[in-house]
């Protein structure tokens, strides 16, 4: 018998040398079997069976190793199945020392406690980005007058020049998705990549826009955001706004615009006008003009600026109050008590009523309170603590609050063909005003509010609708920091909506349908 060369084999050999003689002696002995010998023999028999099974398994593994051959001869070796990570991370495949890479068909599960995308926002899949065409910049403070030959026309001429025999390209409207440069029939199949697509800044990736935006709203928004600029004219405004004459045709004719649509390009600090437009449509008021955010091709800073539709149907406004009617705070409070034109009642001459319907004041007060717009009903900042940068402080108007009845209201605008209804202009809101400094003077004398707007504020769907609506304006969405920045603005408006509901309940203000 050879001596074992491993410690494990030595132990097994020693136990076998003790057990085998005793087992043989137990069964060959004629003496009666005692309990001690019986137990010892049974234990030895069990251990012998265990040794036999180990010897069989070792011989089987030795045979498989011999069949595989030398290392590296085959790459189909079985590897252990990796564990499934639950944190959503997937690292690169692990490489073993023999060159074999661990791979497996594993479904990785991502567990997230919070949604990373806006809820119920259409078009969360972003389209493929296109190359941007370079635009010559101008010096700081200068405005370049751009002719109709802008980026899209230049791209058309470049594509036509690249392919001899092609006809002049033209712009067509493709559904409600984007402006597309389309050539005349005859394009070969292999040249389809020559057609360039200009992505619209008004992104609608689904079949339809939100229900609170009309087809005319979408059309105007696309014109303001994507329309080629024919010329730029200075606007008669102290804020330094400019009038953009856009390419296209419209039924309205404005001075300086001709048959083309026009937009009023305002300052970057006036971007709240875009938020105000979407809030107005969601509340069902429909009193603001379409507004979008646009990066100007004419001013070098490249900061997004609001562009508001220029409506030629607005009545002429005076130079001092920028209103189509002359109205003071005292007369305004008297008109609220008379309830002019409510329920179809014709007012008496001695009431001093204007052509404006009584419900228009309720809509304006609700809208101005949510955005804290003070430049209409409280031009002197009498109802809150203004800051140094507010216009009323800069113009030293606050001392006039001692005689509030003589304070003139501003930006009260009607349409020439529709004097019953107001148009809300210059809707510069303030989101940084604290809750203990809200201007409740805007609600003074108001005893009714529109049912459609209040129902939206109570429905808990204001946030969802604002996200869906503001997502359409790509430039505004990105300029506010994406969803995170938009959520902060909505937080402010939602909190003011709760305060307004509390005010309505505490003061017994009626909520009425106002469809006039």
CB 412 within 8 A of CB 323: yes
179 - beta bridge partners? 173, 198
**At 401, is the secondary structure helix, strand, or coil?**
helix
DSSP sequence for 471-504? TTBHHHHHHTTHHHHHHHHHHHHHHHHHHHHHHH
CB 270 within 8 A of CB 237: no
Quote the pLDDT of residue 43: 80
pLDDT in tens, the chain (516 residues): 445 555 555 556 556 666 666 555 655 555 555 677 777 778 877 877 777 676 666 555 555 544 555 544 444 444 333 333 333 333 344 444 444 443 333 333 333 434 444 444 433 344 445 544 444 333 334 433 333 333 333 333 343 333 333 233 332 232 333 333 233 333 343 443 433 456 889 998 877 889 999 999 999 999 999 999 988 888 766 667 889 999 887 776 677 788 889 999 999 999 999 999 999 999 999 999 999 999 977 776 788 999 999 998 999 888 788 899 999 999 999 999 999 999 888 999 989 999 999 999 999 999 999 999 999 999 999 999 999 888 888 888 877 788 889 899 999 999 999 999 999 999 999 999 999 999 999 999 999 999 999 999 999 899 999 999 999 999 999 999 999 999 999 999 999 999 999 999 999 999 999 987
Q: Name the E strands within 91-177.
A: 170-174
442 by Cβ neighbours in 10 Å (0-12 / 13-18 / 19+) ranks as buried
Quote the pLDDT of residue 215: 94
Quote the pLDDT of residue 25: 60
* Bridge pairing between strands 170-174 and 178-182: antiparallel
| 15: its two tokens | 């136990």
Phi and psi torsions of 39, nearest 5°: -65, -40
125 by Cβ neighbours in 10 Å (0-12 / 13-18 / 19+) ranks as exposed
96 by Cβ neighbours in 10 Å (0-12 / 13-18 / 19+) ranks as exposed
DSSP class of residue 81 equals: P
| 380: its two tokens | 């002197």
**At 346, is the secondary structure helix, strand, or coil?**
coil
Quote the pLDDT of residue 164: 32
Distance CA(313)–CA(335), nearest Å, equals: 25
512 - beta bridge partners? 450
The set of residues, in sequence order, having a beta carbon less than 8 Å from that of 424 and lying 6+ positions away, is: 276, 280, 285, 287, 288, 364, 367, 411, 413
Q: Diameter of the chain by CA atoms?
A: 140
Phi and psi torsions of 263, nearest 5°: -135, 145
Distance CA(251)–CA(220), nearest Å, equals: 13
Phi and psi torsions of 115, nearest 5°: -70, 140
**At 4, is the secondary structure helix, strand, or coil?**
coil
* Residue 507 CB-half CA count within 13 A: 17
Q: Is the pTM of this model over 0.75?
A: no
- CA 165 from chain centre, in angstroms, equals 44
Per the document, the length of the chain is: 516
Per-residue burial over 354-379, b = 16 or more CB atoms within 10 Å of its CB, e = otherwise: bebbbbbbbbbbbbbbbbbbbbbbbb
* Residue 151 CB-half CA count within 13 A: 16
Summarised one tens digit per residue, pLDDT across range 66-86 is 455 554 444 444 433 333 333
Distance CA(409)–CA(465), nearest Å, equals: 32
Quote the pLDDT of residue 146: 36
Question: Nearest-5° angle of CA 436, CA 438, CA 439?
Answer: 140
DSSP class of residue 359 equals: H
Tally of CB atoms within 10 A around 475? 20
**At 454, is the secondary structure helix, strand, or coil?**
helix
Quote the pLDDT of residue 83: 37
Distance CA(494)–CA(447), nearest Å, equals: 22
């Amino acid at each position: 018998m050879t001596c074992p060369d491993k410690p494990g084999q030595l132990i097994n050999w020693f136990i076998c040398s003790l057990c085998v003689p005793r087992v043989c002696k137990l069964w060959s002995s004629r003496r009666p079997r005692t309990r001690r010998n019986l137990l010892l023999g049974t234990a030895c028999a069990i251990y012998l069976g265990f040794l036999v099974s180990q010897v069989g398994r070792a011989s089987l593994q030795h045979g498989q190793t011999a069949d595989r051959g030398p290392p590296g001869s085959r790459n189909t070796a079985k590897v252990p199945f990796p564990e499934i990570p639950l944190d959503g991370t997937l690292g690169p495949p692990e490489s073993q020392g023999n060159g074999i890479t661990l791979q497996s068909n594993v479904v990785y599960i991502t567990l997230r406690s919070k949604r990373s995308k806006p809820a119920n926002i259409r078009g969360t899949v972003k389209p493929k980005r296109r190359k941007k065409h370079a635009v010559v910049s101008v010096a700081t403070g200068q405005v370049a007058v751009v002719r109709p030959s802008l980026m899209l026309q230049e791209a058309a001429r470049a594509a036509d020049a690249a392919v001899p025999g092609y006809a002049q390209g033209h712009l067509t409207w493709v559904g409600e998705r984007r402006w597309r440069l389309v050539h005349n029939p005859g394009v070969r199949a292999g040249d389809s990549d020559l057609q360039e697509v200009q992505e619209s800044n008004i992104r609608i990736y689904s079949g339809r826009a939100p229900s609170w935006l009309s087809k005319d709203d979408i059309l105007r928004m696309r014109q303001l955001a994507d329309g080629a600029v024919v010329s730029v004219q200075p606007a008669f405004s102290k804020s330094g706004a400019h009038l953009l004459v856009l390419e296209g045709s419209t039924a309205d004719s404005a001075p300086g615009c001709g048959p083309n649509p026009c937009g009023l390009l305002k300052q970057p600090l006036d971007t709240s006008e875009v938020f105000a437009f979407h809030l107005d449509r969601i509340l069902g008021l429909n009193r603001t003009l379409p507004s979008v955010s646009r990066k100007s091709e004419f001013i070098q800073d490249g900061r997004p600026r609001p562009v508001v539709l220029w409506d030629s149907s607005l009545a002429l406004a005076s130079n001092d109050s920028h209103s189509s009617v002359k109205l003071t705070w005292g007369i305004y409070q008297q008109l609220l008590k008379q309830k002019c034109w409510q329920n179809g009642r014709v007012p008496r001459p001695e009431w001093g009523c204007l052509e404006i319907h009584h419900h228009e004041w309720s809509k304006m007060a609700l809208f101005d309170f949510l955005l804290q717009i003070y430049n209409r009903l409280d031009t002197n900042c009498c109802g809150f603590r203004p800051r140094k940068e507010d216009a009323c402080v800069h113009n030293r108007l606050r001392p006039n609050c001692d005689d509030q009845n003589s304070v003139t209201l501003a930006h009260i605008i009607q349409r020439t063909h529709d004097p019953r209804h107001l148009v809300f202009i210059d809707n510069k809101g303030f989101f940084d005003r604290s809750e203990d400094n809200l201007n409740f003077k805007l609600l003074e004398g108001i005893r009714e509010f529109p049912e459609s707007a209040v129902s939206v504020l109570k429905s808990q769907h204001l946030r969802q609708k604002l996200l869906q609506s503001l997502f359409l304006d790509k430039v505004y969405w990105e300029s506010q920091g994406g969803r995170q920045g938009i959520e902060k603005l909505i937080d402010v408006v939602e909190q003011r909506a709760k305060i307004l509901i509390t005010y309505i309940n505490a003061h017994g203000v009626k909520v009425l349908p106002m469809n006039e």
